Structure 1
Amino acid sequence: LGDRIAVMEGGRVRQIGTPAEVYDEPADTFVAGFLGSPPTNLVEAADVLVGFRPEHFLPREAHTDGGNLTTLPFHITRVEYLGADRILYGALEGRFEGARVVARLATTVEAKVQAGRTQDFAVRARELKFFDKVTGLRTTARVP
């Protein structure tokens, strides 16, 4: 075991860092999609891809601490019960119409979710990651 990891693709190092650094601050879309189960959601917006982890995409009412939230209508098509977690599959509506995304809710999150319903889900602004659409690299650009 080590305290740093390297993520490689095709013999090329994509990112080196602590497990937390690589997971929380992926250098590019490959790393974002490589670590985590389910992998990071990537949604096309203007000139960037917006990434957010499924465990950060929760029913709006589950964000009890308030904060700066981005709310997205989420049409749930399937709910998979895994004991400690529920995996929700579906598509965004509104601004990002049709973008397929996944949410992972701990069963301790008491929000009622049901396949066939559209609910307001949200992610904290600090959990959103932005990537260049062409290169896949992290960028400071934001969605206009």
Structure 2
Amino acid sequence: MMTLRTAAPPDHARILDVMPAWWGGRDLRALVPSLFLEHFAGTSLVAEADGELAGFLIGFVSQDRPDEAYVHMIGVDPARRGDGLGRRLHDEFADLVRERGVRRIRCVTSTVNTASVAFHTSIGFVVTGTGVPVEARGLEADADGHVLMCREI
């Protein structure tokens, strides 16, 4: 049975443990310091199935733009991809932040992560990036090679 709940600081270690495997060996753990679950646990989510981590979303409401929220990182166990868990995490996050006055959610992904771009556009995000063109994919990226996306809620 799948359960979804807000995150807590102790979830940090569990998230770091699965990240390299879930990202195909890419070590992105440095992108998720513990401060995210110390300061944004109330808007971050954890999905569990039979006590095991099935997915997570780390996000927060912008302090400078209170009508916007940002999804910093989302991960779903590769064995569970395609079953709607990523969408469920995003929808639950949208519900949480909408209650706080948010009307727009932003996220960023790497230009090499075409699966992430495809997933996010399938759930209503629009590519809004500017700057350096990613010629092979026809997308726009910022100067760091990231695809910028936005979803109105």
Structure richer in strand, relative to its length: 1
Rg comparison, structure with higher value? 1
TM-score normalised per structure 2? 0.28
TM-score normalised per structure 1? 0.29
